Amino acid sequence: MSSISEATYIQLYEANSIPLRVVLASLVWVLYEYLITLDEEVWYIWRQQHNLGRFMYFWVRYYTIFLLGFDTVQIHTFAIPGVATHALCVAADPATRIVGAVSLWSIEIIMQMRLYVLYDRSKKVLIFNAVLFLGSIGSFLWLVVVNAVRRGKLLRQIHTTSPLPGCPVINGGTEWAQWIPATAFEMVLFSFAIYRATKSIAARTRLNHRLSLTTILINENIFYFCVVSWVLIFNNLMVIGKTNIPWFGFGPFHAAVGIATCRMLMHLRKFASHELESQGNAYATTKATNAGGPMIFRGSEGEDSQGSTIPDS
């Protein structure tokens, strides 16, 4: 070990073992979430007609499970001595970041659609967010290339001097900037949701003591943005290399974002289903009342009136 010290080697070895454990916990978390919400998925989602919302729910739900399975297999396979070569490690890092980014991009598309609805289908808002969205993707991919080149040089030095199991956890440099474009775009979307919350009368109005659809959309958007922004910021803190936070891998990030989004979509579907059921019950009650006899209008409190009637026609 002529190029790195024994202390550095031990530090890298310990850092490699953390994602091995954390990714298993993340996979269990996602599978547990799937099992405890499967009945709701069957009841509220499977019975839906084919539409974009249904497709996006299934895409996020099952892509998240696939993603955690991929993370688990990749990390534990590479930890087997002799499997992880220099070429595989160089290719694996950008690959795992891109497949994870696909999940985030899918969810950001959903949030843009929700903002499009909140802003009364404003094409200006849609186009503005779409341009920023494409810009964040381009910036992310450019940083992936820059970091992959830098990482390849560092990995070559480590692999030729110390046979670490798996791919060494190497952060620092420009790694911290990897998720800055996505974080900035999330802040823009969050600002749109906050602005709508302060300006929308519907968001502050309760109909029959029930929350409106606008209120549900705004509250869920704000909650989602808080979750994702916190996760992205935490990711950046892990890769800065200047904090005492170890690198946990992408498992917790993939799990948290996927679960939060599916919960959000499920909650909206349950709200819509209950609203339709309430309206159907109200319609049935009104129809039964009209069919049973004349409609009676009672007088106000304190009046002796027995009410007036409208005879059946």
User: CA–CA separation, 140 vs 97, rounded Å?
Assistant: 10
First to last CA, the chain: 99
Q: Above pLDDT 70, what percent of the chain?
A: 74
Per-residue pLDDT, averaged over 182-199, amounts to 88
pLDDT band at 245 (very low <50, low <70, confident <90, very high): confident
pLDDT over 60 (residue 131): yes
pLDDT for the residue 69: 96
pLDDT for the residue 118: 85
CATH of 6-275, one of 1.20.1070, 3.40.50, 2.60.120, 1.10.3470: 1.20.1070
Alpha carbon separation from 156 to 49, 208, 288 (Å, rounded): 53, 66, 79
User: CA–CA separation, 273 vs 268, rounded Å?
Assistant: 9
CB within 8 A of 86, min separation 6: which ones? 155, 156, 159
Name the pairing type of β-strands 210-211 and 206-207.
antiparallel
**CB-CB contact of 60 with 107 (8 Å):** yes
Instruction: Name the β-bridge partners of 297.
Output: 308
Q: Above pLDDT 90, what percent of the chain?
A: 35
Backbone torsion region of residue 299, taken as left when φ is above 0, otherwise alpha when ψ lies between -120 and 50, otherwise beta: beta
Reported as a single tens digit per residue, the pLDDT across 45-89 is 998 888 888 999 999 999 999 999 999 999 999 888 778 777 888
Q: Which of 19-23, 91-95, 102-106, 170-174 has the lowest mean pLDDT?
A: 170-174
pLDDT for the residue 117: 87
Residue predicted with more confidence, 214 or 263: 263
User: CA–CA separation, 226 vs 220, rounded Å?
Assistant: 10
pLDDT over 60 (residue 283): no
pLDDT for the residue 184: 92
Q: Which of 141-155, 164-178, 238-252 has the lowest mean pLDDT?
A: 164-178
CA neighbor of 105 nearest in space, from 181, 4, 22: 181
pLDDT for the residue 106: 95
User: Domain spans of the chain?
Assistant: 6-275
Alpha carbon separation from 74 to 50, 67, 100, 176, 234 (Å, rounded): 34, 10, 13, 23, 23
Q: Which of 11-15, 98-102, 179-183 has the lowest mean pLDDT?
A: 11-15
pLDDT band at 172 (very low <50, low <70, confident <90, very high): low
pLDDT band at 195 (very low <50, low <70, confident <90, very high): confident
Write down the residue that tokens 């209950």 correspond to: 274
pLDDT for the residue 178: 84
